[in-house]
Structure 1
Amino acid sequence: MDWIGVKDRKNIQNIPDAFGWFHDSCLKELYMSTESYVDEELSMAVPSGLDTNVRIFFQRQFRNPSAIELLFEGVTQFHILLSPENYDSIIYDASLLFHNDLFYWADQSDWKPGDNTFDSTSWIAATRLKWRDACSWMGDENRYGVISEGE
């Protein structure tokens, strides 16, 4: 599965066009990492630039593709709203846009950068975006890690 880089406003539309604007999809998994770490001698390395990356794995009820993975690099802001108990986690439509040199994804089609909808919208902003077809990852298996009982 090769990553496809998104460069600008023009080719960002390839993702929602290919994935049906995320209609009847779900956020299956999310993985966040930074380049900060502590080495074996307990020295900490902390990069000065934007070092947070987020991978998000989506599945949907349509084919071609039925699953995609988005990779946001240089994340500047990140807000995920969890579905409350007894509510579904279905995404009915989404926004994917390029604005002021940042790539944005939000789980509402009418969302715009600067909207103060923290209570009702999940969204992410980053300096770089890549995506890839993940159709071979259908089903309930976790792809970013396995949580075992007792951990």
Structure 2
Amino acid sequence: MEWNEVEGVEDINKLLKTFGYFHDSCLKELVMWNDFHVQKDLSMAFGDGLDNNIKMLFQRQFNDPSAIELLFEGVKEFHLGDAGLILDANLILQDGMFIWADAYDWKPNDNAEDVTWIFSMKVKWRDVSHWMGDERRYGELTES
């Protein structure tokens, strides 16, 4: 599964067209991580500048592809709205930042609490159509 890096408007348009502008899709899973951590000796370790990363798994009711994974690197802002059914989404490049939102007409500075949006320095995507169904891909829930 090879990653496709989004570098500009042409790549944005290709992604949006390939996945039908996320029409009739859903955000199934997401995971966030960074390079900050506490060592066993309780000292703090810091990241390298592109600290926050988010991977998101989307599935949709169409083929070719039916599921994709987005990787956002260098996440500067993230808001989780009413994640669920997505009617349409958008990805734009503004002032050197990629901005993805699960509402096509959403604009930065809108105060829509129900919209999920991400501002990041880099975006990559890949076809994971073989990841359809309910199986968790980013880890199982545990009771401990």
**TM superposition score normalised by structure 2:** 0.95
Structure 1 CA distance, aligned partners of 2:114 and 2:139? Answer: 28
1:20-99 equivalences under 5 Å are 20-47=20-47, 49-82=49-82, 89-99=84-94
Q: CA deviation at 1:50?
A: 3.4
**Cα root mean square deviation, aligned:** 1.2
Q: Which residue among 120, 130, 133 is the counterpart of 2:124? A: 130
SS at structure 2 position matched to 1:14: helix
Among 120, 126, 134, the alignment partner of 1:140 is: 134
- Per the alignment, residue 3 of structure 1 pairs with 3
- Helix, strand or coil: the match of 2:103? coil
Corresponding residue of 1:86: none
C-alpha distance in 2, partners of 1:144/1:120?
24
Once residues 69 and 4 of structure 2 are traced to their aligned partners in structure 1, the CA distance between those partners, rounded to angstroms, is 10
User: Which position in structure 1 is the counterpart of 2:107?
Assistant: 112
8 Å CA contact retained: 2:82, 2:115:
no
Which residue type is aligned with residue 121 of structure 1? V
Aligned partner of 1:101 among 93, 96, 103: 96
Letter in 2 for 1:16: L
CA distance in 2, matches of 1:47, 1:135: 32
- Post-superposition Cα deviations, 1:82-133, rounded to whole Å, max 9, x if no partner, equal 35xxxxx21000111111101111111101222222x221101100000000
Whichever residue aligns with residue 30 of structure 1, its letter is: L
Percent identity over the alignment?
49
Gaps of 5+ in 1: 84-88
Contact 2:66 2:129 in 1 (8 A): yes
Question: Which ranges in structure 2 are unaligned for 5 or more consecutive residues?
Answer: none
Secondary structure at the counterpart of residue 13 of structure 1: helix
